Structure 1
Amino acid sequence: MSTPGGSDPSGPAGPRNPGTSQHGRWMVAHGRRRWIAALLALVLVAAAVVAVVSLTRAGNVTPPAAQGTATQSETTIPTPSESPSETPPPAPPPIAELPPGAMNILVIGSDIRGTPAKDAAAHTAATGEVQDQRADTLMVVHVPADRRNLYLISINRDTWVDVPGLGGAKINAGLQYGGIDMQTAAVQQLLGITIDHTLMLDFGGFRILVDGLGGIDVNVPVPFQSTIETEHVFPAGMNHLDGQAALEFSRERYAFADGDFQRVRDQQIMLRAILARLTAGGALNDVTAVRSLVEFASCCLTVDKGFDPIQAAILAYSLRNLDAGAIRSMTLPTAGSGFIAGQSVLFPDYGGIAAVGAALREGRIGELARE
């Protein structure tokens, strides 16, 4: 059994049959539609920028994925003189407003290789069989009721907690032993909050989505050379990254003195860069672009059953006034490191975590997430 990001065990041997939930059965029947929402909601609000460049004032819609790595300067929008004279298509129907209220979305980055993460998670949910995947990334995205800010709360994957249905383990083991349901339950219990929706993306899907955007610009705070795969070199300052380089940037920990802590900060930087790209220039005000974005994401993401394409578009549209400069992040506090059953773990700072949970419930997370 492989271990996430290194040779450390991912968790103790746990129950081999956590059971089959109604949610799990739904995932098997409808797995292909589940990625749609979460992407729209938060990580891939970004694709809208590219969509708007190629989506059109002349009614010619080109899916963002078809652009490959084309830059904006390479993309042409037909002018009236270049387009055949014909009756323009009717305006798309408006997108409804999202009802008021805050929302918590859990983002999971799976470390699975080979099998798509959504297939493995569906299999675990339906059969209770353990799969060789763990949560390499765990991040709660808090969307306030006013939709003008976003807050990213990262959880170190080695945090030792009581995972519901499994017992004491690293928090990232929930995905391995109980799929998305168990992983979500572990985060909810730790923070004392309700997770409204869950999004999962694996390594391959991440590469595809970044490449579909034509790459992403990331401001690298700590220069390093990756120890993974292509061993990409990341100089300090602004870097334009394709999907493979973006993945290596987001996964690296061995190049840093503080290991996983810098990796978590880099993952936050990556998500902020994607969100900034997607919300630039009022892209989410374009109803056609928002709907095209749903189709663009259909290859790669797994989300819970609560989102369908209509709900996904509604949430994305609700973020149209988001100020990318108002995206704040923090990492859940820990109380030092140690070893349990031969595993290197991080101990939770339960007092600090309780404060974060209360701030999320009471709409005060801005007091703590300041980065």
Structure 2
Amino acid sequence: MDSKDDMQHEPAGDAERAAEPAAERPASLSLFADREGAGEAGAAEGAEPSEVPAGDGGKARRKRRARRVLIWSLVALLVLIGGGVGAAYWTADHYASSVARIPDAFPTVPESAQPKPVPHSGMTFLLVGLDARSDVPTTGKTAQGPAWQVGAARSDTMMLMHLSADRKSVSVVSIARDTWVDIPGHGKAKINAAYSWGGPALMTETVQNLTNIRIDHVAVIDWSGFKSLTDAVGGVDITIPKTIPAGNGAREWDAGTQHMSGDEALLYVRERHGLPNGDLDRTKRQQNFLRALMKQTMSSGTLSSPTKLGGLLQSVGDVVSVDSKLSNGDLYDLAWSLRSLTVGDVRFMNAPFGGFATIGGQDVVLMDNAAATPLWESMRNDRMDQYFAQHQTTSDTLGDSVR
């Protein structure tokens, strides 16, 4: 893990939207098209949605529709942030209750020692990725225990995901796992050691100290779980811009667009040998995979097919745990607020890279703090749209071509 080889490397208004040709509109993450469309059709026929007969039949229809909205709202959130649900399909409350919750995910230090929340500045999640969640039994049964045990695993991936206050954009920033930082109570070390030493709470405190951003929620992601999730949507299309020969136990990757199964996608996001910038390139692969998974989910009919949707929901439950402060009601409200997002509204980048170094015999990544300061300020103050507009061509930003 510590070898040098391991390291190497405002949308248009409603009137404008309505005027656009349907074929030219971006694929929407909204899962409420049937609900909204029904309202529009009713208006065209001279009947407002509120004029539905109040009899038992009307009440039953409204009840069924409300239930579908809750179910699809939750799915929208899960697709976007990788949240987890149980295997049942027929009730959203069951899904939300099946999401594993992480207790004690936040620092216990005094408020005065933590970044002050900025009012009306959106919401920021800390996403922690592991090669395998420590709470998943070898029998393959649903995890019941905590998502962390002392020394069981170091975090493989760290991402800050910021949802804008108006819920019109999402920004995801990866922090290299070998970034050299101060870890409270332990001194200088690679940032991924924070999870091993103190779990989500210490990782959250470390990231808050590094960025001066108050973390609102935490999610722990199991990359291995994405295998079944990828298969549930029929695989993903990922383009390799240049052939990467086999070497150091890694497979060869042929140039061109490839339709990857879950097994292949897992190899793709884990691979770092043969990549010029090692883990830095791997974080971009992980971001590229998440982007491809979102596109495939939206375009494959998964969300409109009860059979496919059931398969998806059966798979995602093993992927993510979230902090215990994220209630079922919070899931519903957040999912509804994100209903109009498109894939193009979600942007990815790496934290600014400041070089490689060897410290105490360890190969580490240095962050460019001067370049990172405006990034963290933009996220803290909900100005990521402006930040990306000014930095869209930097090497840290995820583009269309990913090694």
**Residue identity in the other structure for 2:216:** D
Secondary structure of the residue that 1:321 maps to in structure 2?
coil
Residue pairs, 1:252-263, within 5 angstroms: 252-263=271-282
Partner of 1:184: 204
Partner of 2:385: 366
- The change in CA–CA distance for 1:163 and 1:4 in structure 2 (over 3 A counts) is same
Q: Using the alignment, how far apart are the partners of 2:131 and 2:251 within structure 1? A: 19
Q: Which has the larger radius of gyration?
A: 2
Partner of 1:167: 187
Q: Does 1:145 align with 2:175?
A: no
**Residue identity in the other structure for 1:166:** H
Residue pairs, 1:20-39, within 5 angstroms: none
Q: Using the alignment, how far apart are the partners of 1:113 and 1:313 within structure 2? A: 25
Secondary structure of the residue that 2:331 maps to in structure 1?
helix
Q: Does 1:271 align with 2:290?
A: yes
Partner of 2:64: 90
Is the contact between residue 335 and residue 346 of structure 1 (CA under 8 Å) also seen in structure 2? yes
Is the contact between residue 248 and residue 273 of structure 2 (CA under 8 Å) also seen in structure 1? no
Is the contact between residue 294 and residue 313 of structure 1 (CA under 8 Å) also seen in structure 2? no
Is the contact between residue 226 and residue 252 of structure 1 (CA under 8 Å) also seen in structure 2? no
**Residue identity in the other structure for 1:304:** D
RMSD: 4.0
Q: Using the alignment, how far apart are the partners of 2:135 and 2:295 within structure 1? A: 31
Segments of 5+ residues of structure 1 without an aligned counterpart are 10-45, 53-86
Percent identity between matched residues is 32
- The change in CA–CA distance for 1:122 and 1:261 in structure 2 (over 3 A counts) is closer
Partner of 1:248: 267
Q: Does 1:234 align with 2:208?
A: no
Aligned residue among 348, 353, 366 for 1:347: 366
Q: What does the per-residue CA deviation read over 1:134-193, in whole Å, with 9 as the maximum and x for residues that have no partner? A: 121111111112222221111111110001232211011111111111112211211110
Aligned residue among 130, 148, 151 for 2:151: 130
Q: Using the alignment, how far apart are the partners of 1:173 and 1:239 within structure 2? A: 35
Q: Using the alignment, how far apart are the partners of 2:247 and 2:321 within structure 1? A: 28
Give the drift of 1:214.
Answer: 2.0
- The change in CA–CA distance for 1:222 and 1:259 in structure 2 (over 3 A counts) is farther
Partner of 1:215: 235
Secondary structure of the residue that 2:371 maps to in structure 1?
helix
**Residue identity in the other structure for 1:319:** L
Q: Using the alignment, how far apart are the partners of 2:4 and 2:136 within structure 1? A: 21
Secondary structure of the residue that 1:135 maps to in structure 2?
coil
Secondary structure of the residue that 1:322 maps to in structure 2?
coil
Give the drift of 1:294.
Answer: 6.1
Is the contact between residue 104 and residue 194 of structure 1 (CA under 8 Å) also seen in structure 2? yes
**Residue identity in the other structure for 1:208:** S
Segments of 5+ residues of structure 2 without an aligned counterpart are 8-26, 33-59, 78-119, 138-142, 398-403
Give the drift of 1:343.
Answer: 0.2
Tell me the TM-score normalized by structure 2: 0.61
Secondary structure of the residue that 2:339 maps to in structure 1?
coil
Is the contact between residue 4 and residue 136 of structure 1 (CA under 8 Å) also seen in structure 2? no
Count of residue pairs the alignment pairs up: 290
Q: What does the per-residue CA deviation read over 1:231-262, in whole Å, with 9 as the maximum and x for residues that have no partner? A: 55433332211111111111111111222221
